[in-house]
Amino acid sequence: MQLSSTGHDGSTTVDGLIQNDSFYGSMGSSNDLATHTTLPSDSSPFREKYEIDEDGELLGEGTHCVVRECKCKVTLQNHAVKIFRSEDEEMFIHAEREFKILEKLKGNPNIVQGIEYIPEFLRSRGYLVLEKIEGQHILHLIENGPVSEEQAKTMIKQVISAVDYMHENGVVHRDLNPTNVFLVDQKTLQIKILDFNVSKLVENQRSRRNSLDEEESKSYQSSPSKNGKYKYSLFTKTGTPIYSAPEMHQAYRYTEAVDMWGIGTILYTLLMGEPPFYESSIPVLMKKVQSADYDRSSPQWQNLSLLGQEFIMGLLEVDPLIRFTTKEALAHPWFIQ
């Protein structure tokens, strides 16, 4: 199985990259990009270490990059590689930032592994080599209906443990949703979290606060992270709207609590067979998200254990100060009932 997935809206993603020809705009067709602008020449540093199957099917594509399978000439292992091409220096900064995040999280069995990042500035290209994942995203599991409570429990505990590891290492994912969680083992239900391209590595909150201007400083003083429950304070609005926490669209700042909301949407989707919030109108969607207006009257919800219902409600809590942390979630009796 390739490192690809089909989104709830019908688009396809590979570690956060949308497979959609129109995504390229004036850059030309995906075939032009794949065959003429992204394959490294024999003189490239990347080519010295890796081989690419130039005739193989793309694993994914985005605005300025494609994803292909590659093989390390030394280890003979197969990997996935994001091949970026852009004249914009920001692209290199973004790719390097993503690799630094993956380096920070290296070794966790439930997080995709970053192998290395090779920039080629003179050729306006960058190569982000990743672990090649075999499996499918967990949305495929509900094609024939919701999964069982025990199955969901096995998978979501891994997600929470991985997110706990992220938060302990200063990483906030910011886009946790079912298309970014891959099932890599059907028997054990092992999962891996992908797509760190909008994630944030929070280096040092104290030095960050020292650099804030007066307006930002006032905002920080009222930040939810100041109560001690959460450690980090962020302000960039990002993520996938139907899975994003209400404070992501409201407050000037938010915390790593947004990841817990994302976990709640994943769990609800697995157990109910559909996302908790889904509207074609963004204003209507935002209104429902901001009031946690999701269906709790369906037969699937009524058949859920009381502890399971309580657990979901603790994750999909509008107030981030009340919402479960990773530690609180892992200690919940739902996991030991």
Annotated catalytic sites, by residue?
175
* DSSP code, position 134: P
Cα 286–Cα 166–Cα 198 angle in degrees, nearest 5? 45
- CA distances, 225 to each of 229, 254, 315, 328 (Å): 7, 8, 17, 16
Tokens encoding 93: 């900064």
Residue 82 and residue 115 in contact, taking contact as beta carbons nearer than 8 Å: no
- CA distances, 108 to each of 15, 85, 308 (Å): 17, 30, 27
Instruction: With residue 207 as reference, give the H or E element that holds it.
Output: helix 205-210
Backbone phi, then psi, for 301, in 5-degree steps?
Answer: -70, -45
Cα 185–Cα 187–Cα 193 angle in degrees, nearest 5? 30
- CA distances, 221 to each of 171, 233, 322, 323 (Å): 22, 10, 19, 20
Can you spell out the DSSP letters for 222-265?
A: T-GGGGSS----B----S-GGGS-GGGTTSS-B-THHHHHHHHH
Residue 249 and residue 237 in contact, taking contact as beta carbons nearer than 8 Å: yes
Q: What residues does 131 pair with on adjacent strands?
A: 79
